[in-house]
Amino acid sequence: MTAPKETFLADYQVPAYLIESVDLRFALAAAQTRVVSKMQIQGNPAGSGGDLALDGEHIELVSVKLDGRVLAGNEYQRSDTGLLITHVPERFTLEIETLIQPDKNTALEGLYHSGSLLCTQCEAQGFRRITYYPDRPDVMAVFTVTLEADKTLFPILLANGNLMVRGEASDGKHWAKWHDPHPKPSYLFALVAGDLHCQQDSFTTQNGREVALEIYVDHENSHKCDHALRSLKQAMTWDEETYRREYDLDVFMIVAVNDFNMGAMENKGLNIFNASCVLASPETATDDDYYTIQSIVGHEYFHNWSGNRVTCRDWFQLSLKEGFTVLRDQQFSADMNSEVVQRIGDVNQLRIMQFAEDAGPMAHPVRPASFIEISNFYTVTIYEKGAEVVGMLKTLVGNAGFRKGTDLYFDRHDGQAVTTDDFVAAIEAANDVDLTQFKRWYSQAGTPVVTVKGDYDATRERYTLTLSQSCPATPDQTEKAPFHIPVTVGLLDKSGQVMPLQLEGEVAEEPTDSRTLELRDAAAEFTFINVSSEPVPSLLQGFSAPVKLVAQQDNDTLAFLMAHDSDNFNRWDAGQTLSINILLGLVADYQQQRALAVPELLLTQIAAVFVLAESDPALVSRMLILPSENYLAAQQKVADVDGIHAARTHLRKTIAQRFKAEFEALYQSLNTQKKYDFNADDMAQRDLKNVCLAYLMATGDPMQTQRCLKQMKQANNMTDRMAGLRLIADQAGPERETALRSFYEQWQHDRQVVDKWLTVQAQSNLPDTLIRIKGLLKHPAVSMTNPNNVRALIGQFCRNNPVNFHAKDGSGYAFLAEQICQLDDLNPQVAARQMGALGAWRQYDAERQALMKQALQTIADKKSLSKDVYEIVTKYLADK
Ligand code: PHE
Ligand code: ZN
């Protein structure tokens, strides 16, 4: 095949034509939909003029009219990717009629059919599958949309903005006309038609605007909207209080759809959500689901300002809206729940997923320089690292300074399509700081390594921290210039008390308990004065920068920090580092066929953790969970999947047996039959209870299986039921089959629960897992065209089941290759997203490397590969 074209940031040019307004008329039907688009177009004074180029794919052109005159075939050129209209005037009206087939659309981009619904997904480049249009975010137009459809099949007709009029038509049809007064790029366009339940509420903004809130779901899910609605109101209030952002239309709608490529989409006034990110009831959703729903509802709502009112100039700026909005949703979740739990979760995800991306063949900067398929760049780097970068800006200028900066950003750029440079410029201007060097975080890929050395001078009572930085090469960038890195530190004395900090050479300010040091050079020294005894440093508090810290702290020091650090995040982190050290030691024992010996030091520290169970159950459960197998694998030169699994299992069992009495007592005290409520305290208690249950299971005591079954039977909520099922699914025996079967029988009518049932089976460490998955792919409840099913079975197996996915015989790899080839014909975006598990092939032993490469080659050899999969497979195979 001919290599698909690469797009470069450096080639950016302003649009030649601008669209003032567009009037869209849809005659909707699942088999064929007719679209008439009437655009008011004018030359861009800043542009280069010339021919008018419109994007368009997978659509049938019926006619083109310019200022009312039908164009002859020689007045335009059509290709697979668009339409070129030659000799256009300065200002004109263009009317284009096209036909599309929603029924045949399994890519779920553009207009498609999901269940009995018709809905759209346009980000990033889906609008071009609906009509010919300049489908780029810097073309912003006012949209008016008229939908016409069968009244019985599609009683609900929704589009962006406010409803203007609706009416009856002939042949059992009806119509609705929507108008969105805010100019927007085409990627924010949306429509929905279907037979849906509408859950209504309202919100009054700080300036008294009455907003109707509407959540649309399948009728059978009408009782599952309350949590999303409550989250939406929390988000609206929070954004007014925290960022002074107010909503700007008369109605805010959320629609839940069953087939969706991502989590959710922030279309103006009409958010479309994956049903799994909206629907919740205590009986069917876990605490994690509740938590995710709250954060995604917040995320999409926050986009109304960070993304919609101020949008991206081009797709290289994707993190402008995503990084900032993720930071906003993280702050929101922290404020609604627990700050430290939120931070631990975010850092864990960043380290496990983003550090791996940065270390692999798809590494790219927060602002990439090129792409083949933009859908491949909705990554943890753009989202999560992007959020860390904005978070560092906040740390550097302080909370008040950051708010001044974001106020200025929103004021300056309201209604514009801008760049990450514009964002940084607003922070600079509002705070009178120079962030030129800081901007390297946007342009340089890779995870910096920060090395720290401490030196105490007892006679002069001085303590010097020497910080140095380096960053490994990434595929397109061998040389890296130093980053501007905020490193927040504290000092503890030998009894664990924080010591007041005063830097040498600074005008004596009030000494503080923690300080943010700014590392700008390859290396720098920071000297604290009046340090009366040798301190233990607490480094990178709150994970103040997305870096790998090399602090050469021995296990005793880590144990001390785990017990005493004044920063709770760092207590957890010290425990994780200590556990990693010990686990890697156990892997070495395993490799050398020695008995696995767990050092007493760790067990002593764990004993101390139990003391906090009552005062801070959330922190305790975080501290009791060992680092994941994937993260451990990333710490090794050559990842030893089996050794890691053996070591981690052994450590879990050792902890379980040593503290069996403690786990028992805690489980009993936490296992109350309280009515389910979603709040941080109750969630922390359920979480800790289920961590205890998992350890009790790890003792190997058969009684505990009965306890899991009992919990499943008696639970009044899905969190506890799933915790039981997950443990049982990981243990061979007759109970497993019975539990899985009866669980399915009970919940087969609920898609979200069925996906959980698939997930626990895909994640099971038992050796029959792949066979089971292959069977499940033929299960009547499973469809390869449903992304949630694919993610639950294939995604979970490949990403979160390392022992089975990396089976020595290569069966996991071959399975994935085969699935990707099938998926690629149905849904390229979803296919490409499953590739991740093969990206780190360099990390494994020679035999596995060969097998992984063979799987990649199978994919590369497939005929008519999508751009999506092509880009990833070529980058993976080119890894050196
Ligand atoms: N913009 C969406 C979000 O982050 C994600 C998304 C991207 C959804 C592309 C669909 C398609 O909120
Ligand atoms: Zn987003």
> How does pLDDT run across 126-176, given as a tens digit for each residue?
999 999 999 999 999 999 999 999 999 999 999 999 999 999 999 999 999
Distance CA 226, CA 391 (A): 31
| Ligand 1 proximity of 264 Cβ (cutoff 6 Å) | yes
Q: Please report, rounded to a whole number, the percentage of residues in the chain having pLDDT higher than 70.
A: 100
Ligand 1 neighbour 299 (Cβ under 6 A): yes
Of the candidates 337, 333, 261, which has an alpha carbon nearest to the alpha carbon of residue 833? Answer: 261
Give the integer Cα–Cα distance in Å for 82 and 89. Answer: 20
Specify the residue with its C-alpha closest to ligand 1, atom 12. Answer: 265
Please name the residue whose Cα sits nearest to atom 8 of ligand 1: 265
Task: Tell which residue, 656, 637, 638, 652, has the closest CA to residue 586.
Answer: 652
How far is the centre of ligand 1, averaged over its atoms, from the C-alpha of 307 (Å)? 11
Cα 267 to middle of ligand 2, angstroms: 11
pLDDT of residue 586: 98
From CA 236, how far away is CA 249, in angstroms rounded? 13
* pTM higher than 0.95: yes
Please check the confidence at residue 638 and state whether its pLDDT lies above 90. yes
Nearest residue (CA) to ligand 1, atom 9 = 123
Is-contact 257 273, C-beta < 8 A? yes
* pLDDT tens digit sequence for 172-191: 999 999 999 999 999 999 99
Sheet containing 462-470, strands listed edge to edge, beginning at the edge strand earlier in sequence: 523-528, 462-470, 449-457, 548-550
Is the beta carbon of 266 within 6 A of some atom in ligand 1?
yes
Token pair for 146: 């008229």
* Contact by Cβ (8 Å): 407, 377: no
> pLDDT tens digit string along 433-492?
999 999 999 999 999 999 999 999 999 999 999 999 999 999 999 999 999 999 999 999
The dihedral sign for the CA sequence 549, 554, 559, 564: negative
Residues 6 or more apart whose CB falls under 8 angstroms from that of 830 comprise 108, 261, 787, 790, 791, 823
pLDDT at 1: 57
Q: Which atom of ligand 1 is nearest to the CA of 260?
A: 10
pLDDT band at 511 (very low <50, low <70, confident <90, very high): confident
Q: Is 135 in the pocket of ligand 1 (CB under 6 A)?
A: no
Three-state DSSP class for residue 153: coil
Going from the Cα of 596 to the center of ligand 2, the distance in angstroms, rounded, reads: 45
Ligand in nearest proximity to the CA of 137: 1
Q: How far is the CA of 382 from the centre of ligand 1 (A)?
A: 12
Q: How far is the CA of 272 from the centre of ligand 2 (A)?
A: 12
Mean pLDDT of the chain: 98
Residue 252 pLDDT > 90: yes
Under the banding of pLDDT at 50, 70 and 90, the label for residue 753 is very high
Protein residue closest via CA to atom 5 of ligand 1 = 265
- Going by the DSSP 8-state scheme, the letter that residue 838 receives in this structure is G
Q: Is 300 annotated as catalytic?
A: yes
Which ligand does the CA of 387 lie closest to? Answer: 2
Average pLDDT over residues 240-256: 98
The pairing of beta strand 462-470 with beta strand 449-457: antiparallel
Q: Which helix (H) or strand (E) is 120 found in, with range? A: strand 117-121
Does 329 contact ligand 1 (Cβ within 6 A)?
A: no
Distance 263 CA to ligand 1 centre (A): 7
> What gap in Å lies between CA 56 and CA 70, rounded to an integer?
19
Reported confidence tier of residue 880, pLDDT bands at 50, 70, 90: confident
Closest-approaching ligand to the CA atom of 188: 1
Provide the 10 A C-beta neighbour count for residue 81.
Answer: 12
**What number is the average pLDDT over the span 396-415?**
98
Tokens matching residue 415: 């209604």
Q: Could you say which of 109, 214, 300, 629 is catalytic? A: 300
Q: How many CA atoms lie within 13 A of 27 on its CB side?
A: 9
User: Helix, strand, or coil here: 264?
Assistant: strand
Q: CB of 382 within 8 A of CB of 322?
A: yes
E strand or H helix at 192: strand 191-194
Closest ligand 1 atom to 303 CA: 12
**Tally of CA atoms within 13 A in the half-sphere of 170 that contains its CB:** 0
pLDDT tens track for 535-590: 999 999 999 999 999 999 999 999 999 999 999 999 999 999 999 999 999 999 99
Whether 283 shows a pLDDT value over 70: the answer reads: yes
Q: Sign of the C-alpha dihedral, residues 43, 46, 52, 56?
A: negative
Instruction: Report the pLDDT averaged over residues 274-296.
Output: 98
Confidence of residue 35 (pLDDT cuts 50, 70, 90): very high
